[in-house]
């Protein structure tokens, strides 16, 4: 799989170190509060697994799967819930855990949706953010890394469902697109 990467943008060690830093901040912010981590399937699986284990304080986990209407209209901002949360978020302190913020449209919709359900607070933690791709501003409390506006895979992120299980974040070699 290594041959399929053109560049490694973020190493396994860098991801681990940054998640530990963010986890320490989150531990301090939510001390004495009832923290609910909400992961967005499927990309956030890896960051959720590692981030949740880097926390020292208690945290529950729940999951949503969302999709933009139609594959070609990803930037429409119209989001469909494919899998909803298992539990009510009323009165809960929610921290959304995302792998990447691209246009910001998914997250902007999700934050509004969870606030409308009566969560006590809704904040965002995202491993990656592409500032140049932003279409809407989203107030993100914790960002792992700001990256260039390039197509990236690994650590949860896919190309046609492949490469999610890479331990690093990288860009794909040309031959992968043409094969």
CB of residue 74 to ligand PRP, shortest distance in Å? 6
Binder of ligand PRP out of 35, 38, 48, 105 (CB under 6 A): 105
Per CB under 6 A, which of residues 22..41 are in contact with ligand PRP?
40-41
| Residue 104 is a binding residue for ligand PRP (CB under 6 A) | yes
> Can residue 101 be called a binding residue for ligand PRP (CB under 6 A)?
yes
Shortest distance (Å) from residue 70 CB to ligand PRP? 12
Half-sphere exposure of 84 (CA within 13 A, CB side): 8
Q: Please choose, out of 5-13, 29-37, 98-106, 165-173, the segment that lies near ligand PRP by the rule CB under 6 A.
A: 98-106
Name the pairing type of β-strands 5-10 and 169-172. Answer: antiparallel
Residue 102 binds ligand PRP (CB under 6 A): yes
Residues 6+ apart with CB under 8 A from 97: 37, 38, 39, 40, 44, 47, 48, 51, 52, 125, 126
Q: Which of 95, 18, 99 is nearest to 60 (CA)?
A: 95
Q: Is 102 a catalytic residue?
A: yes
Q: What share of the chain is helix, strand, coil (3-state, %, to 5)?
A: 30, 35, 35
Binding footprint of ligand PRP, residue count (CB under 6 A): 15
Q: How far is the CB of 135 from ligand PRP (least distance, A)?
A: 7
Window 45-84: contact mask with ligand PRP (x via CB under 6 A): ----------------------------------------
Binding site for ligand PRP (CB under 6 A): 40-43, 98-107, 158
């Amino acid at each position: 799989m290594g041959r399929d990467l053109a560049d490694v943008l973020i190493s396994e060690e860098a991801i681990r170190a940054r998640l530990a830093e963010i986890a320490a901040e989150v531990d301090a912010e939510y001390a004495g509060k009832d923290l609910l981590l909400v992961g967005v399937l499927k990309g956030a699986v890896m960051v959720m697994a590692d981030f949740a284990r880097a926390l020292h304080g208690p945290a529950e986990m729940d999951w949503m799967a969302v999709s933009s209407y139609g594959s070609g209209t990803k930037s429409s901002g119209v989001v469909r819930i494919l899998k909803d949360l298992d539990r009510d978020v009323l009165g809960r302190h929610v921290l959304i855990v995302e792998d990447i913020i691209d246009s910001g449209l998914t997250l902007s919709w999700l934050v509004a949706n969870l606030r409308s359900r009566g969560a006590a607070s809704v904040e965002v933690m995202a491993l990656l953010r592409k500032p140049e791709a932003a279409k809407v501003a989203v107030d993100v409390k914790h960002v792992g890394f700001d990256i260039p506006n390039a197509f990236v895979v690994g650590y949860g992120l896919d190309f046609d469902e492949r490469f999610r299980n890479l331990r690093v974040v990288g860009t794909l070699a040309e031959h992968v697109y043409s094969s």
